[in-house]
Chains A and B, each alone.
Chain A
Amino acid sequence: EAGVVQSPRYKIIEKKQPVAFWCNPISGHNTLYWYRQNLGQGPELLIRYENEEAVDDSQLPKDRFSAERLKGVDSTLKIQPAELGDSAVYLCASSLDGPLLTTDTQYFGPGTRLTVL
């Protein structure tokens, strides 16, 4: 079974430029997460989708960050414009949630390492 796929794996841009990351979750997983991981820190949740609905975006900096999950499958995370402090690894994860499940393991992709110069 294919895991969570992310692209690109690495991205270098200059500040004030836009950037976008793409994620394809594990087939059948209805919940998708975007995390940001700064150097030496653990991942921090940016946004969580259940199908195509964003159910938790309280940590997403909405002035410059946006995300979408059209049709409840693939997702795109965008930053416009990027700032120096946005340099980090952006991780996508997915899980299979349902009314009978009490533990929903999140499966992570390899991440996109963003460097803003």
Chain B
Amino acid sequence: DQQVKQNSPSLSVQEGRISILNCDYTNSMFDYFLWYKKYPAEGPTFLISISSIKDKNEDGRFTVFLNKSAKHLSLHIVPSQPGDSAVYFCAASEETSGSRLTFGEGTQLTVNP
């Protein structure tokens, strides 16, 4: 039972344009959501998070949107840069402590110069 799903295995965008990565979840008890970025041969790196009491959180070029009624969140990267090319994982937790994370399958983002 895949509780967190990223339906797009890959996404390709041009440098300077917006990248939108999507994530859906089924567990209504999830109340904390995170995005991690992973480069080859490295571990995932925390990028940005959002609590279920918010619908938007912004950090520089990265913005995460949460739609609780649709059980959907998205990560927007504006403007996209070639260094953003990586695998992006969506993760969710039932506790605000973030201790037990359930990850999606990941989306490979490629930003072309």
Contact = CB atoms under 8 A, between A and B. Distances in A.
Interface of A: 4, 31, 40-45, 48, 56, 91, 93, 95, 97, 101-111
Contact of A103 (B96, B100, B101, B103): B96
A40 B105 contact: yes
Given A40-B105, A42-B105, A104 B97 contact: yes
B100 A48 contact: yes
A56 B32 contact: no
Contact of B98 (A44, A103, A109): A103
23 contacts: A4-B43, A40-B105, A41-B103, A42-B4, A42-B89, A42-B104, A42-B106, A43-B44, A44-B103, A45-B100, A48-B99, A91-B44, A93-B43, A97-B97, A101-B97, A102-B97, A103-B97, A103-B98, A104-B99, A105-B49, A108-B36, A108-B45, A110-B41
A47 to B, nearest CB: 11
